[in-house]
Structure 1
Amino acid sequence: MQNFFGPVLIVIVAILFFGTIFGICYLYFTSRTRERLALVERGLDPNFFRPRRTALKYGMVIFSVVLGMTLGDLIPFRYPVGVPLGVMLGGLSLIVYYFIIDKRLDKRDEA
């Protein structure tokens, strides 16, 4: 009997796993469609929530993480500090990105 429950349990877990992923994706896309339809009905742009200037953000984060990991490997220290330094510099780059975008949006609003 034990040999029978192993494959059945694997199939049940797989069905639940992929069903959960499908359910989350379905809810995400249907709610997004409803939001966009509501924006169109009100006469607004449906791409209102689309993020802008994401290439700058991703470039800054990737560069900062790689720089931090490289510097962490070069620093002679008792413990490995590459990954924590990379994560810290990645977070710092997101903060800097926020201030850059905030300043650009302020200039655009003034003009």
Structure 2
Amino acid sequence: MQSEILIPLIIFSAIFGVSYVYLTTRNKERLALIEKGADASLFNTGKKKGFGSIVLNLALLAIGIGLGVLVGAMLEQSGMEEDVAYPASIFIFAGLGLVTSFFVNRKLDKEA
């Protein structure tokens, strides 16, 4: 009975603790750089992915999962076991969707 309350509490406190330490450490590093006279443009050097890129990744992943379910159903109808057909085809097509999104995003980054 105690584990029903204790396990979610431990999980959420661990997530909070890790994110708190990460954010405070990053803030301290940035303040130290600013005190030493570093330019603020240092913090903006990484490429930021836009909202469209994230939506494209999720859309192609969802398409891949949908195709995986469809192919899994077709494999099950053709005689393959359900326990094998669905997970295998879902993972294969989800992976193909993510690989496709990688190449599409790389092409879009080169154009921009």
Give the TM-score normalised by structure 2.
0.65
Whole-Å separation in 2 of the counterparts to 1:78 and 1:46: 52
Instruction: Give the aligned length.
Output: 101
* Greater C-alpha radius of gyration: 1
Contact 2:65 2:90 in 1 (8 A): yes
Contact 1:36 1:46 in 2 (8 A): no
Summarize deviations over 1:55-105 as a string: whole Å, max 9, x none: 000000011101111221122132221222111111111111111111222
Summarize deviations over 1:4-38 as a string: whole Å, max 9, x none: xx85x887766644432321121233345456665
Whole-Å separation in 1 of the counterparts to 2:73 and 2:64: 14
Whole-Å separation in 2 of the counterparts to 1:35 and 1:23: 18
5+ residue gaps, structure 1, are 1-5
* More displaced stretch, 80-89 vs 60-69: 80-89
5+ residue gaps, structure 2, are none
What is the match of residue 79 of structure 1?
A: 81
What is the match of residue 98 of structure 2?
A: 94
Write the letter of the residue equivalent to 2:17. G
User: Higher relative contact order by CA 8 Å / sep ≥ 6: 1 or 2?
Assistant: 2
Give the TM-score normalised by structure 1.
0.65
User: Alignment identity in percent?
Assistant: 20
More helix by percentage: 2
Whole-Å separation in 1 of the counterparts to 2:4 and 2:88: 37
Write the letter of the residue equivalent to 2:74. L
Question: Aligned-residue CA RMSD in angstroms?
Answer: 3.3
